[in-house]
Amino acid sequence: MIDGIEVKELKMIKDNRGFLMEILRGSDKIKSDGQGAFGQMYISTAYPAVIKGKHMHKLQTDHLTVIKGRGAIHLEDQREGSPTKGKKEVILVGEDNWKLVKIPPGIWHSTENVGTEVCYFINYVTREYNHKEPDEYRGAFDENERKMPWKPLIMG
Amino acid sequence: MIDGIEVKELKMIKDNRGFLMEILRGSDKIKSDGQGAFGQMYISTAYPAVIKGKHMHKLQTDHLTVIKGRGAIHLEDQREGSPTKGKKEVILVGEDNWKLVKIPPGIWHSTENVGTEVCYFINYVTREYNHKEPDEYRGAFDENERKMPWKPLIMG
């Protein structure tokens, strides 16, 4: 696992009316970033096969989950001095993989819809988005780096 | 409007990949409850025609929205000394009504799915849920009080 990435398994409580799932608590270990004040929460959707990113923040920590659909979070550590510098990984989130992923500053990340329906990403971030001076750096997602474990085999 | 209820209109930014919608910022007026630390966020879904509630909290403030589907939030003010004591109202949220509703302590509320698909409610609450001593009081929703403006007329 890339240094600093944390994952919280989410528990879905179901009944005949629907489900309830806690996403994030102020006292969660995964929330222990010393930034107690409320930052911002937003939703971002992706149509099937869409990849958003890659993005990187210098100050902000993301707490990303999928609450509907099947998503993949692509991560890439290019931080100088990081013990996992150069490492890339993919975490599946959403249906069958209910979890929250904490992404500290400095790690490049992309969100992908790997399902057949619209995918709903919820993100709690530790800082408010500043339109004038956004803490958001953008790069191009490298399609050749899409190393999903279930990538279909092309039979020769 | 019931005293203390606040509504924030949410703005959906769409493109060919999906949409992005800010839900809540720490500096939002609607978040100005003096409880700066992060409480908790969770998701609750409701199948069509399901009503969850009614509920009331003595300490916690809810910030409730629908990010998929069509919901209705039923509100009832039974607070002693409130200038709007006895008042009931319904706020539509979700599709065609993207908004966040702040519900301060003491106000009874129920969430209803008024659409044909599963409805996804997201709630940011100012306190963590305490399983041992929950700040949650429950009552029965009175079906006769369901006064939706678009309630179908039965022609005689």
Structure confidence by residue, pLDDT tens digits, B22-33: 999 998 989 876
- Asked if the structure places residue B154 within a domain, the reply is no
- Asked if the structure places residue B152 within a domain, the reply is no
- Asked if the structure places residue B129 within a domain, the reply is yes
Across the interface, whether the CB atoms of A40 and B24 are under 8 A apart is answered: yes
Do residues B98 and B10 touch, judged by C-beta distance below 8 A? yes
> A72-84: b or e for each residue (b if 16 or more CB lie within 10 Å)?
bbbbbbebeeeeb
Q: What is the CA angle A117-B93-A127, rounded to 5?
A: 75
d(CA B50, CA B31): 28
Give chain B positions within 8 Å (CB) of A47. 16-18
- Asked if the structure places residue B90 within a domain, the reply is yes
**Comparing A4-13, A63-72, A132-141, which segment has the lowest mean pLDDT?**
A132-141
Structure confidence by residue, pLDDT tens digits, A4-51: 999 999 999 999 999 999 999 998 989 876 556 789 999 999 999 999
- Asked if the structure places residue B59 within a domain, the reply is yes
- Order of strands, sheet of A40-46, starting from the edge strand that comes earlier in the sequence: A6-9, A99-103, A62-68, A119-125, A40-46, B18-25, B12-15
Q: Return the percentage of chain B with pLDDT > 90, whole number.
A: 79
Quick check: B11 pLDDT over 90?
A: yes
3-state secondary structure of A156: coil
d(CA B20, CA A42): 7
Give chain B positions within 8 Å (CB) of A42. 20-23
Quick check: A132 pLDDT over 90?
A: yes
For range A46-59, the mean pLDDT? 95
Q: What is the pLDDT, as a whole number, of residue B143?
A: 73
Whichever domain contains A81, its CATH number is 2.60.120.10
CB pairs under 8 A between A and B: 116
State the total domains in chain A: 1
Q: What is the pLDDT, as a whole number, of residue B135?
A: 94
Q: What is the pLDDT, as a whole number, of residue A38?
A: 87
- Asked if the structure places residue A114 within a domain, the reply is yes
Q: Give the distance from residue B96's alpha carbon to the nearest chain A alpha carbon, in angstroms.
A: 16
Residue A142: pLDDT band with limits 50, 70, 90:
confident
Report which DSSP code applies to A1.
-
- Asked if the structure places residue A153 within a domain, the reply is no
Structure confidence by residue, pLDDT tens digits, B60-73: 999 999 999 999 99
Q: What is the pLDDT, as a whole number, of residue B21?
A: 98
- In terms of CA atoms, which chain A residue is nearest residue B130? A25
Which of B21, B37, B122 comes nearest A36 by C-beta?
A: B37
Distances (CA, A) of B104 to A36, B77, B98: 22, 11, 20
Report which DSSP code applies to B37.
B
Q: What is the pLDDT, as a whole number, of residue A153?
A: 47
Give chain A positions within 8 Å (CB) of B24. 38, 40-41
Q: What is the pLDDT, as a whole number, of residue A152?
A: 47
Q: What is the pLDDT, as a whole number, of residue B153?
A: 47
Q: What is the pLDDT, as a whole number, of residue B152?
A: 46
- For residue A105, what are the domain limits? 6-25+38-141
Tell me the two tokens of residue B52. Answer: 């969850």
Mean pLDDT, chain A, rounded, equals: 90
Structure confidence by residue, pLDDT tens digits, B89-144: 999 999 999 999 999 999 999 999 999 999 999 999 999 999 999 999 999 887 77
What secondary structure, in 3-state letters, does B53-122 show?
Answer: EEEECCCCCEEEEEEECEEEEEEEECCCCCCCCCCEEEEEEECCECEEEEECCCEEEEEEECCCCCEEEE
C-alpha closest to that of A126 among A15, A12, A45, A38: A38
- Asked if the structure places residue B29 within a domain, the reply is no
